[in-house]
Amino acid sequence: MFFISIKSKCRFTFVFAFNLAFASYSQVHQNGRLDIPIGSDNESYAAFPIDTSGVVLYRNFIGPKENLLELTRMDTVLKKIWSGYLKIPKEFSFASTKANGRKIYFFFRHYDPAKHNFYVTSVNILNGVYSSFRIENLIPFEPAEYVVTKDAFLIAGYLNYRPVILHYSIAGRKAHILPNILDEQGEITQIKPYPDGNVDVIISAKNPSRRKCLWIRQFNSAGELIKTTVLEPGEHKNLIFGRAAKTENGSQVIAGVYGRNSQYSRGIFVAEVDADGGYVIHYYNFGDLKNFFHYLKARKENRIRKRIERRKIQGKKIKFNYRFLVHEVIPYQNQFIMLGEAFFQHYANRGNYSYPDGFQYTHAVAIGFDKKAKLLWDNSFEINDVKSYQLKQFVKIIPEKDQIVLLYLFENSIRSKIIKGSEVLEGTSREEVKPAEGKRSVGGNIQNNKLEYWYGNHLFASGIQNLQSNENNNVYKVFFINKLTAGYPAENQFLLPFNDK
User: Rounded mean pLDDT of 144-159?
Assistant: 96
Cα separation of the two ends of the chain: 28
Note the pLDDT of residue 407. Answer: 96
Position 42 confidence tier, pLDDT thresholds 50, 70, 90: confident
Predicted confidence at residue 248, as pLDDT, reads 79
Confidence grade of residue 22 (pLDDT, cut at 50, 70, 90): very low
Q: Please write the tens of the pLDDT for every residue from 74-107.
A: 999 999 999 999 999 999 999 999 999 999 999 9
| Mean pLDDT to the nearest integer, 215-243 | 94
Q: Are strands 267-273 and 279-285 parallel, antiparallel or unpaired?
A: antiparallel
Contact predicate 108/99, CB 8 Å? no
Residue 293 is given by DSSP the state: T
The residues near 111 (Cβ < 8 Å, ≥ 6 apart) are 91, 92, 93
Q: Give the per-residue pLDDT at 499.
A: 30
- Which contiguous run of DSSP H or E holds residue 443? strand 439-455
**Band (191; pLDDT cuts 50, 70, 90):** very high
Segment (H or E) for 332: strand 323-332
CA 270 – CA 281 distance, rounded (Å): 6
Residue 19 pLDDT class (50, 70, 90 cuts): very low
The DSSP annotation for 302-316 comes to HHHHHHHHHHHHTTP
User: Would you say residue 5 has pLDDT above 50?
Assistant: no
Position 35 scores a pLDDT of 95
pLDDT in tens, 390-433: 999 999 999 998 999 999 999 889 999 999 999 999 999 999 99
Query: Residue range 32-54: average pLDDT?
Result: 91
341-392 pLDDT, tens per residue?
999 998 888 877 888 889 999 999 999 999 889 999 999 999 998 989 999 9
pLDDT band at 437 (very low <50, low <70, confident <90, very high): confident
In this predicted structure, the answer to whether residue 66 has a pLDDT above a threshold of 80 is: yes
Does 30 score more than 90 pLDDT? Answer: yes
Residue 139, amino acid:
I
* Residue 7 pLDDT level (bands cut at 50, 70, 90): very low
**CA–CA separation, 170 and 177 (whole Å):** 15
Q: How far is CA 300 from the centre of its chain?
A: 31
Q: What is the pLDDT of residues 269-284, one digit of tens each?
A: 999 999 899 999 999 9
| Distance, CA of 398 to CA of 390 (rounded, Å) | 24
**Model pLDDT, residue 488:** 61
Q: Measured between alpha carbons, how far is 405 from 495 in angstroms, rounded to an integer?
A: 22
Total count of residues recorded for the chain: 501
- pLDDT above 90: residue 447: no
Give percent of the chain with pLDDT exceeding 70.
Answer: 92
Instruction: Give the pLDDT confidence score for residue 26 in this predicted structure.
Output: 54
pTM greater than the 0.85 cutoff: yes
Q: Residue 292 and residue 237: Cα distance in Å, rounded? A: 20
Angle at 181 between CA 176 and CA 183, to 5 degrees: 125
Strand partners, 282: 270
CB atoms inside a 10 Å sphere around CB 343? 21
Return the pLDDT at 249: 81
